[in-house]
Amino acid sequence: MDLKTKDVQEVYSVERVRKDFPILSKRVHDKPLVYLDNAATTQKPNVVIGALEQFYTSENSNVHRGVHALSEIATQKYEQAREFVRQYINAASLHEIIFTRGTTEGINLVAASFGRTFLHEGDEIVITTLEHHSNIVPWQLLCEEKSACLKVVPIDDKGDVLLDEYEKLLTEKTRLVAITHVSNALGTVNPVKEMIEIAHRMGIPVLIDGAQYMPHFRVDVQALDADFYVFSAHKIFGPTGIGILYGKERYLELMPPYQSGGDMIRSVTFEKTIFNDLPFKFEAGTPNIAGVIGMHAALKYISSLPWENIIDYEAELLRYATEQLQSMDGVRILGTARKKSGVLSFVMDGVHPHDIGTILDEEGIAIRTGHHCAQPVMERFGVPATARASFAFYNTTEELDALIRGLRKVKEIFHV
């Protein structure tokens, strides 16, 4: 650990925070767990685990339909969570906060509802090379259905989007831009505010995939001026199976329901159904009530943390790990963008990423290996897969040292 990293740690007490996460004291293969797979999912603090247990042991009931005490408690907690999300991302209205199963469903909802309403033959949707499959495939399917065109913004060798090429791709036929805020494969932080401004000058709405941004920064959707913003609770220290679609009310009002069933209707006859108001128009069926309550607990927890210090601390973790990896012969980092967050994706000469991951696992170190659901990124850099270490505010430089020792062991085993 160098002096600069130590100074940051003294401002932010990672040791205190780690005590909030019970799994971090676990041992794997009789080694202390070093969890560096946070881009896939984050670990959960005690307050989230406790909120789930409290709901299922003392408050379990369906929402919105009951007049009994448990239903009223569940409904109150469910809607309190919606208001907290609204405040957390600074949405203008509760009508703009839609509960989904996660980022993927949020994108699919916009593709199915907004896309089928406003996209026609010959129209265009613009994405970037950096996208996760979840922000590629829904648009491909929509374009096939509508005989529309999917355009892709290229990236340079560092992993930065080429803004001049982006602007050239926007035309009077562009109906939507859908871009990631942070690349899950490279850690590139896209200049989305500038990209939104460019699109808005031409009257084009923009969807932002915020799944990888939300664990590392705070977002203000009004300041950003995003038209749609999607993210998942499990990436922000909450439960799986729950997420948020933020959408500007003027767009959501024009969009038809994504699914049909209970709670998204006001009245039904065999002749006609009248749909419910926002946000319930997009929330068919019994929702993930416990997940919403757990997400609320997660957001309250991270809201209590010193975010300015956390951002500096995570930046130091990334800098420290980058320097250590760059000093190793035969190791190449993919993605050296001007602004990065939380991810180190790398390859090692003569060793398949899966072998790297397997040997590190024997040392108790959890990383991700593969194409990370971002095969176009892998193709752009000419590799089938990478090893990816991804960080959260509870990781330490000591854990990064363990990663480096593990990688040296990989090199010894493979004689590279």
Residue-level pLDDT at 6: 52
Domain end (from 269, 288, 303) = 303
Which of residues 268 and 124 earns the better pLDDT score? 124
Average pLDDT over residues 14-34: 97
The catalytic residue among 47, 52, 152, 373 is: 373
Residues 319 and 392 in one domain: yes
Looking at the fold, whether 55 and 16 belong to one and the same domain comes out as: no
Q: Is the pLDDT of residue 10 over 70?
A: no
Shared domain check, 323 and 249: no
So what's the pLDDT on residue 3? 36
| Whole-number pLDDT of residue 262 | 77
Domain membership of residue 42 (yes or no) is no
Classify residue 178: in a domain, yes or no: yes
Model confidence at 132, pLDDT cuts 50, 70, 90, reads very high
Tell me the mean pLDDT in the region 10-30. Answer: 93
Give the model confidence (pLDDT) of 262-298 as tens digits.
Answer: 777 788 788 888 888 899 999 999 999 999 999 999 9
pLDDT confidence of residue 1: 46
Q: How confident is the model at residue 372, as a pLDDT?
A: 97
43 within domain boundaries: no
Domain boundary among 268, 303, 338: 303
pLDDT tens profile 189-230:
999 999 999 999 999 999 999 999 999 999 999 999 999 999
Is residue 354 very low, low, confident or very high in pLDDT (cuts 50, 70, 90)?
very high
Regarding whether 201 and 81 lie in a shared domain, the answer is: yes
Q: Mean pLDDT in the chain?
A: 95
CATH number at residue 163: 3.40.640.10
The answer to whether residue 44 sits within a structural domain is no
pLDDT at 8 over 80: no
Give pTM, 2 decimals. Answer: 0.95
Average pLDDT, stretch 308-334?
Answer: 97
pLDDT over 80 (residue 106): yes
Do residue 17 and residue 93 come from a single domain? no
The predicted pLDDT at position 259 comes to 87
Please check whether residues 222 and 256 belong to one and the same domain: yes
What is the percent of the chain with per-residue pLDDT over 90, rounded to a whole number? 91
CATH number at residue 349: 3.90.1150.10
Would you call 373 a catalytic residue per the annotation?
yes
Number of domains the chain is built from: 2
Q: Does one domain contain both 17 and 64?
A: no
Q: Are residues 325 and 240 in the same domain?
A: no
Positive or negative: CA dihedral 151, 99, 102, 47: positive
Reported as a pLDDT band with limits 50, 70 and 90, residue 177 is: very high
Tell which of 303, 321, 356 closes a domain.
Answer: 303
Q: Are residues 62 and 180 in the same domain?
A: yes
Tell whether 165 and 205 lie within a shared domain: yes
**Structural domain that includes position 198:** 49-303
143, 109: one domain: yes
* Residues 190 and 323 placed together within one structural domain of the fold: no
Decide if 132 is inside a domain: yes
Q: Classify residue 39: in a domain, yes or no.
A: no
In a domain, 38, yes or no: no
